Amino acid sequence: MRPMMDQAVRDWRNAFDVWKTNYALPDDAIGVFAINLRFYVDDIQTIVVEAITGGGDDKKCDVLYIDKERKIAVIAQCYVSRKSRPAAPSDKAADLNGALIWLLSTDLDRLPDALQGRADELRAAINGGEIKQFYIWYVHNLPCSKNVKDELLTVETTARAALDSYPSGLVRISTSSLRRSVTSNSNASTCRQNGP
């Protein structure tokens, strides 16, 4: 079993590295790569431009993907390690709490210009009943840990509290720590996942 898993990790890393190089993408593109594996999006270049929010003042939100046709939203914190480590850093999972507060609860005029429009679009979609599934992902290239799982439980609580303040409030929440593609059918291995 172990050699198969090692090969799956190499295959995933190679596919991501080629994809990242071909499109000249930043490390945060690992989040869009995961979105593509999960949802099979058509126009990946447009998704990259629209969804990657990471950068200087991203308020801990590296990727924000809104798909009104599928009625989903994905908020992701991304981390790509250049060296082997025993586990993904849990503080990056905890950063998702801040991202949720900024995107869902903070006055729009307090958000950085680059996030204002995206946060407004997300809030309008939630209020309009156009989002039924809310994915909150910590996407990385390292093993998961109990600390990451624990942080994601807190993130889920933060998300529920924030979404309960919206009149439509009927949004399912799914938190996950995604670390790699295993097979074409399983899409990604998860440290923790709620919902479907």
Q: What is the mean pLDDT of the chain?
A: 82
- Location of structure tokens 């979404």: 163
Q: Are 177 and 138 in contact (CB under 8 A)?
A: yes
| High-pLDDT (> 70) share of the chain, % | 84
Beta strands across the sheet bearing 172-180: 63-67, 72-79, 133-140, 172-180, 189-193
Count of structural domains within the chain: 1
Amino acid identity of 147?
Answer: N
Phi, psi (degrees; rounded to nearest 5) at 60: 70, 15
pLDDT exceeds 80 at position 147:
yes
Q: Are 60 and 98 in contact (CB under 8 A)?
A: yes
Range of the domain at 151: 2-193
- Grouping H, G, I as helix, E, B as strand and the rest as coil, residue 193 is strand
Q: Are 92 and 63 in contact (CB under 8 A)?
A: no
| High-pLDDT (> 90) share of the chain, % | 45
Strand bridging mode 72-79 / 63-67: antiparallel
- Location of structure tokens 């307090």: 110
pLDDT exceeds 80 at position 3:
no
Say which CATH number the domain at 116 has: 3.40.91
Q: What is the pTM of this model?
A: 0.84
